[in-house]
Structure 1
Amino acid sequence: MTATAPADPRAHFAALLAQHRGIVLKIARGYCAHQEDRLDLIQEISVQAWDAFDGFDPARARFSTWLYRVALNVAISQLRRQQLRQRHHAVLDEAALAADDGAPAEHRHTLRQLEAAIRELPALDRALMLLHLDDHDHRQIAEILGISSANVSTRLHRLRQQLRARFDPTP
């Protein structure tokens, strides 16, 4: 932590986490179909972020970038643990996935289909797509995921092609 950080690191961390809670919620929504699993993942991300907070250096990265990296690593690790326990096949809970934003039913249905398609992607591709849909540029995505910008571009192009083929199978 820097010399400009508040005297109480817990309060500083809590304020930063509250300010960027949307990141944690998006990652949890992208990796968990059920509300209980999302809550567990949110808690685990928060604990792991706190444990790693001493190593956060604002001179090296913005807090949001650092938090994305921590959150995605926790989510991917949790997913791997679940797969090892043969719990990787989750029944899609459509009611829990419904967007409560007043959008028309057709848009909510499309959003649920997109979320389901994203959850079926391999862990790295899922993280890549979530970051892309959150309007991060290729450089930011590369920094968060620890891959090259060229790799981000190539993977995103392939993912968009896959999703287009899935949602619009006509040639």
Structure 2
Amino acid sequence: MGSDFYQQSILPFAGIIIKICRAYTHSQEDFEDYYQEVCLQIWRSRDNFNAESKWSTWIYKVALNVCLTHLKQRKKGEQQFVSDALPDEVHDDAKAFGSDELNLLYNAIKHLSEIDRAVILLYLEEKSYAEIGEIIGANTNSIGVRITRIKERLNKFIQAQE
């Protein structure tokens, strides 16, 4: 992957990738694997971006697809990629997950279904219902109801943990 492409097209969206990867992993090693795989897939499929949506929306789609695919493979006992360390530029963002409150929230999010995790992460990124629907392939009209139900489940889980 060229460093120019990484610097200009991936690094500005590292926060998005980090949040999605963190929601679908349970260890630092898995997180690093997922992060690297997402970056690699963005680079490999960059020519498939058709500019019908924003670049950030497309990155969300790629990141979610990679995470969901690897989650399914791991459930089957398959592992297809090897980890190195995260690039230095994103270590500071990764350290931002050190607070207890944020860890409690991510722990609660990990108890949601795979699709509900994606919905709440997009909601927390302040994506519109239309963007959320486009990214996850759902009807825009149902997104609001789904978010309300997800929030209720998260609140119950967090209250039970406190």
TM (normalized to structure 2)? 0.79
Q: Are the equivalent residues in 1 in contact too, given 2:108–2:158 (CA < 8 A)?
A: no
Report matched runs for 1:104-123 at 5 Å.
108-123=99-114
Greater share of residues in helix: 2
> Deviation per CA, 1:90-137, whole angstroms, max 9, x where unpaired?
xxxxxxxxx855x9xxxx333222111111211101111111111112
Greater RCO structure (CA 8 Å; 6+ sep)? 2
Count residues with an aligned counterpart. Answer: 145
Q: State the 1:37 CA deviation.
A: 0.7
Is 1:72 equivalent to 2:64 in the alignment? yes
Q: Identity across aligned pairs (percent)? A: 32
RMSD of aligned residue pairs (Cα, Å): 2.5
**Equivalents in 1 of 2:24, 2:141: separation in Å?**
25
**Equivalents in 2 of 1:67, 1:48: separation in Å?**
10
Gaps of 5+ in 1: 1-8, 88-98
The ranges of structure 1 where at least 4 consecutive aligned residues each deviate by more than 4 angstroms after the TM superposition are 9-12
Q: State the 1:86 CA deviation.
A: 9.2
Q: State the 1:10 CA deviation.
A: 4.6
Gaps of 5+ in 2: 80-93
SS for the counterpart of 1:85 is: coil
Q: Are the equivalent residues in 2 in contact too, given 1:13–1:53 (CA < 8 A)?
A: no
Report matched runs for 1:1-171 at 5 Å.
10=2, 13-14=5-6, 15-58=8-51, 60-85=52-77, 100=95, 108-168=99-159
Rg larger for = 1
